[in-house]
Amino acid sequence: MPSVTWIVLQVLCFNVPYVILSQVTIASLYEQGTQAYLEERFPECVEKLEQALDRYRYHRRNTQNCRLKCRYESETSEPLFSVNIEDLRFHEKNIKNTLCLIKCKIDSNGNNDNIEGQIQQIFEERRPYEYLHLCYYKINDRQKAASAAFTFLVANPNHKVMTKNLQQYSDLPEVNMKEVVNFEAQNYVYLYVYGVNAYMRKEWDTAINNIEESLVSYLHAEDKCRAQCEGPFDPGWHPDFVPAIANHFTYVLRCKRTCKKKLSSLNGEIHEDLFASHYDYLQYAYFKKGNLYAACKAVASYLLLIPDDETMLANMRFYQGMPKVQDDFFTPRDETVRYAQRDTYEERILEYIKNEFKFNQTKPDIEKKINKSFHLTTNTTDLGGQHRFILDGIASLDDCKNIMYIANSFMNVNDGYDLINETASPHTKYEKFEGVTLSRITFLTYISLLQPKYLTLILDITKEMRKTLVEKFNIKRPLYFSFTHLVCRTALPGYTKNRTDFSHKIHSDNCNLLQDNTCEKKPPAFFWRDYSAILYLNQDFEGGNFMFASDLTGNTIQSIITPQCGRMVGFSAGKENLHGVSAVTKGKRCALAVWFTMNPQYQEFDREIAQHMIKNDISFHRYFNDFIN
């Protein structure tokens, strides 16, 4: 592992706190497991990653079963009206399907996991095993280590480092390669392998039973895979009703079309015609048992899927020449007919989309970064004091949405607050405070729970905030980042009325404000902070206004600022800019807070790590190396 990356690892381990959530999610278990690995707490690494995998399997199975069950119930339900007018039957089925899905999710024992695409991708690509095999190795469970490495390789067969790791495991005396298993193998894989092995031994009854069961299991596995595709879809714009349905359907359909390829792997060996090959084995096994009718149906089923296979065409001619065989024997099986019809229809739909949705109009480059249009809402005089301003337009609606995604997905209670009691509120007992530090955002990116674009967005927007401060206050000396904190405060139920407290009481950002209105620049104050900036991300809450005040009690309010997406408040961090936040009485208020210093001793080292990571495309998976030697 390169030395720079190892430094990154060490710093990340030091700066990211190990937090146990009261409601542990799949993502948080994965994060805790990887953090335990980096801190060499290997038994805990195994515990957390195994729990994450178990939870993900449960969530995946439950989601798939709900979608399959609800689709069947809506399809077979009695119509509300006997005549299908304006395709209302289609919408009626969707409404019934939706109601069933809601009930099914409620009945799933209060599962609080909301799997985002990035998290789902990590588990579908078997990324937890990239850590888990090393942790098994470190606790001397070498057999499981080999199986974990093999499980990862089944999903990532071209991964050279893991291939080398598995080879090294195979050389260990404690590892029996015959007992190495794929932890994520589905039933049809084992049934198919057992059936083929029995076929090779000419045990025709056993071969038929296993391959028939494998066929049923395979179809069910593909149905589950296709159901997994029916998740959310963000088109990135706001289409009309019909285009919205068509876009989401196309997105789901493209996903469903990948299931055949996903299921074609038998423990790492790709069999492109795996489904059809069942019928090849069955036709000969049935022939050897004297069941010509079943043999011919298997031949017809195979040819329905692969009509130009010369070997099977020759088999059909052979069977046709037998006196007991009738023409109607060559009727494909029902499950094959349905499978082939669906396959053909879906191919035609996608071909139609490819050929017909072609337009010559010039498309805007949505990736091109345009200059933001800043608007100075209020100047220093309007705000009732010196060295303060408000600026709108620092962040776009999409920027706010993306930063809010980080907040909603990865915030921890009181993260970023230095508290002895982590369950205590840092400001008021009537609100829940949650945060994500830049250090943790960097760590989440490093372990692929966050895509790099989110970290890049945080870095870019905070740079813009600093640039704005320097320009507005004509700062001539170098201004360093000191601390970056994405923070939300949420009103707790039952405490929304008649509140006279502050969400954040009147204070100064760099000194201890005393009763006599003096301000001491010494610990525990962050006395090195020189400037502050707050970028608001939403406005769908009540209360939570930012206030400048002239006294400790807040009796004299100089100005009140209402948060909204893209609005930035900037001010010098001393006694001249006492400020606080009024009570949040409903909803969640989120903001990106950044503090700056002119003292390089207190600059934010985490930012250097984050910038280096993005610039050099560093991630755990990119620099993953063997750990056995």
> Is the model's pLDDT at 21 over the cut of 60?
no
Among 18-32, 196-210, 262-276, top mean pLDDT goes to: 196-210
Instruction: Count other C-beta atoms under 10 Å from residue 278's C-beta.
Output: 26
Point out the least confidently predicted range of 36-45, 224-233, 425-434. Answer: 425-434
> Is the model's pLDDT at 110 over the cut of 90?
no
Which residue, 179, 204, 236, sits at the end of a domain?
A: 179
Q: Is 375 part of a structural domain of the chain?
A: no
Residue/partner pairs of 120-127 with CB below 8 Å, 24 or more apart:
120/231, 122/30, 122/448, 122/449, 123/26, 123/52, 123/53, 123/56, 123/60, 124/155, 125/155, 125/156, 126/151, 126/152, 126/154, 126/155, 126/156, 126/184, 127/152, 127/448, 127/621
Which pLDDT does position 395 carry in this prediction?
94
Q: Is 267 part of a structural domain of the chain?
A: yes
Q: CB of 305 within 8 A of CB of 336?
A: yes
Cβ-in-10-Å burial (0-12, 13-18, 19+) of 16 comes to buried
Cβ-in-10-Å burial (0-12, 13-18, 19+) of 361 comes to exposed
Point out the least confidently predicted range of 257-271, 337-351, 449-463. Answer: 257-271
The helix (run of H) or strand (run of E) holding residue 378 is strand 375-378
Same structural domain, 246 and 172 = no
Q: How far apart are CA 492 and CA 496, in angstroms?
A: 7
> Is the model's pLDDT at 18 over the cut of 70?
no
> Is the model's pLDDT at 495 over the cut of 80?
no
Q: CB of 275 within 8 A of CB of 269?
A: no
Same structural domain, 130 and 208 = no
Confidence of residue 19 (pLDDT cuts 50, 70, 90): very low
Q: Is 151 part of a structural domain of the chain?
A: yes
Which pLDDT does position 496 carry in this prediction?
65
Q: Is 399 part of a structural domain of the chain?
A: no
Which pLDDT does position 412 carry in this prediction?
83
Instruction: Kindly compute the dihedral angle of the four CA atoms of residues 89, 91, 95, 101, in this order, to the nearest 10 degrees.
Output: 100
Token duo for residue 356: 């017909």
Q: CB of 624 within 8 A of CB of 618?
A: no
Q: Is 93 part of a structural domain of the chain?
A: yes
Q: How far apart are CA 364 and CA 362, in angstroms?
A: 7
Q: Is 274 part of a structural domain of the chain?
A: yes
Q: Provide mean pLDDT across the span 433-450.
A: 91
Which residue, 131, 153, 179, sits at the end of a domain?
A: 179
Which pLDDT does position 591 carry in this prediction?
97
Same structural domain, 24 and 110 = yes
Instruction: Count other C-beta atoms under 10 Å from residue 441's C-beta.
Output: 25
Mean pLDDT, the chain, as a whole number?
87
Which pLDDT does position 8 carry in this prediction?
36
Q: Provide mean pLDDT across the span 354-381.
A: 56
> Is the model's pLDDT at 357 over the cut of 90?
no
Point out the least confidently predicted range of 282-286, 369-373, 483-487, 539-543. Answer: 369-373
Which pLDDT does position 523 carry in this prediction?
85
Same structural domain, 167 and 202 = no
> Is the model's pLDDT at 9 over the cut of 70?
no
Q: Provide mean pLDDT across the span 399-428.
A: 73
Q: How far apart are CA 144 and CA 200, in angstroms?
A: 30
Q: Provide mean pLDDT across the span 261-285.
A: 92
Which residue, 136, 157, 179, sits at the end of a domain?
A: 179
Q: CB of 93 within 8 A of CB of 75?
A: yes
Same structural domain, 170 and 194 = no
The DSSP code sequence of 382-420 is: TTTSSSEEEEE-SS-HHHHHHHHHHHHHH-EETTT---S
Higher local confidence (pLDDT), 499 or 397: 397
Among 276-285, 320-329, 503-512, top mean pLDDT goes to: 276-285
Task: Give 204-257 pLDDT, tens digit per residue.
Answer: 999 999 999 999 999 999 999 999 999 888 776 667 888 889 999 999 999 999
Higher local confidence (pLDDT), 11 or 335: 335
Q: Provide mean pLDDT across the span 375-389.
A: 72
SS3 label, residue 433: strand
Same structural domain, 347 and 207 = yes
In the beta sheet, which residues pair with residue 595?
A: 483, 532
Point out the least confidently predicted range of 112-116, 150-154, 400-404. Answer: 112-116
- Residue 12: φ, ψ to 5°: -60, -40
Which residue from 54, 40, 50, 44 is spatially nearest to 20, judged by alpha carbons?
44
CA distances (Å), 284 to each of 186, 205, 315, in order?
25, 12, 9
Higher local confidence (pLDDT), 311 or 415: 311
Which pLDDT does position 237 carry in this prediction?
66
Q: Is 530 part of a structural domain of the chain?
A: yes
Instruction: Kindly compute the dihedral angle of the four CA atoms of residues 185, 112, 229, 61, in this order, to the nearest 10 degrees.
Output: 30
> Is the model's pLDDT at 361 over the cut of 70?
no
Task: Give 135-179 pLDDT, tens digit per residue.
Answer: 999 999 999 999 999 999 999 988 999 999 999 999 999 999 999
Same structural domain, 485 and 575 = yes
Which pLDDT does position 380 carry in this prediction?
59
> Is the model's pLDDT at 512 over the cut of 90?
no
Q: How far apart are CA 389 and CA 568, in angstroms?
A: 8
Which pLDDT does position 626 carry in this prediction?
42
Q: How far apart are CA 446 and CA 450, in angstroms?
A: 8
The CATH number of the domain where 597 resides is what? 2.60.120
Among 424-428, 461-465, 494-498, top mean pLDDT goes to: 461-465
Q: How far apart are CA 439 and CA 445, in angstroms?
A: 10
Same structural domain, 582 and 485 = yes
- Residue 329: φ, ψ to 5°: -65, -30
> Is the model's pLDDT at 367 over the cut of 50?
no
Which pLDDT does position 108 carry in this prediction?
75
Task: Give 579-619 pLDDT, tens digit per residue.
Answer: 999 999 999 999 999 999 999 999 999 999 999 989 887 66
Same structural domain, 78 and 97 = yes
Same structural domain, 207 and 103 = no
Point out the least confidently predicted range of 48-52, 284-288, 553-557, 621-625. Answer: 621-625
Which pLDDT does position 560 carry in this prediction?
92
Same structural domain, 195 and 174 = no
Same structural domain, 253 and 287 = yes
Number of structural domains (the chain) is: 3
**Boundaries of domain holding 586:** 411-616
| Residues whose CB falls within 8 Å of the CB of residue 81, separated by 6 or more in sequence, listed in order | 88
Q: Give the strand order in the sheet containing 557-561.
A: 502-507, 578-582, 546-549, 557-561
Q: Is 626 part of a structural domain of the chain?
A: no
